Copies of this chain bind each other. A is one copy, B any other.
């Protein structure tokens, strides 16, 4: 049977509340070293394990946080998750992970589920498309922080990367390499990340006098298949671009597959820059020029923000942390000679 405080109390002759005090080393220093040691010894001998569930219930504090992301098997999110887990462990928190699959309905369900189970706070990479339930979290003073994606018009705390800038820089680099017609495989347009990237792309196209055309921005999904479809479409056009900027891990795999199937080579026939896993990118065929995210840093920052928010009892500060990405140049971009 499980050994409880009461059990130990019975065996030591002191009251269970005293046992609790001793075992938690709570303030009361006026307990004689003798009883103290005795109780500790007995507890150790019985292999006493505090029932954290009862404790959490009593204290209304579970030391658990929820992480709600679209896909744990996407290396961006698993990288961030890893970093968050490491941080939270250091601070005595447990991490409950949920996968939404970009399904907003499921996301909301998960949030409620977590809340009902009493998580102390939430880290969410929202599927977006609806901010009502997020608004609701704010009103209820639930401590939470957004990661990667943000609602621009909501006063939420968030940790995102500078998508506007990273897309701009990518286009700028392609332009410097002589590209004038650049396609953008975009991803779900509803996401703040995608919006900002499109903005950055458009700004750069404008600033550098590159070819502007709606058909150059394509795609809407987040799967390998949707990357494949978009690439097939854009590359089959009579005036296909000479370079592609691809906005996601899985999309990129699909795009590469499409390029290969069309019998084209990177970068001879088409140049490529991708938002992609930078640990793997050097080893792709060919090594891919990528926009790399500081995953570890993002994980640490988002957890720290959340902890702050928990300590503030959810009172919104709306701290928006924006981290920098890095354009890592690799062989997938060719220099074009314009005759």
Contact = CB atoms under 8 A, between A and B. Distances in A.
A117 B52 contact: yes
Given A95-B98, A98-B89, A73 B62 contact: no
Given A62-B53, A285-B285, A78 B73 contact: yes
Nearest to A282: B257
A287 B285 CA distance: 7
Interface string A26-55: 000000000000000000000001111110
Interface stretch (A3-11, A79-87, A235-243): A79-87
Number of copies: 2
Contact of A280 (B52, B71, B114, B280): B280
Size band of the interface chain A makes with B: 35 or more
A257 B283 contact: yes
Nearest to A224: B279
19 contacts: A49-B116, A51-B116, A51-B118, A52-B116, A52-B118, A53-B53, A53-B56, A57-B57, A64-B117, A72-B72, A72-B81, A73-B75, A75-B75, A78-B78, A96-B97, A97-B97, A253-B280, A256-B283, A257-B283
Given A49-B116, A94-B98, A253-B280, 5 more contacts: A52-B116, A54-B57, A56-B117, A57-B57, A284-B285
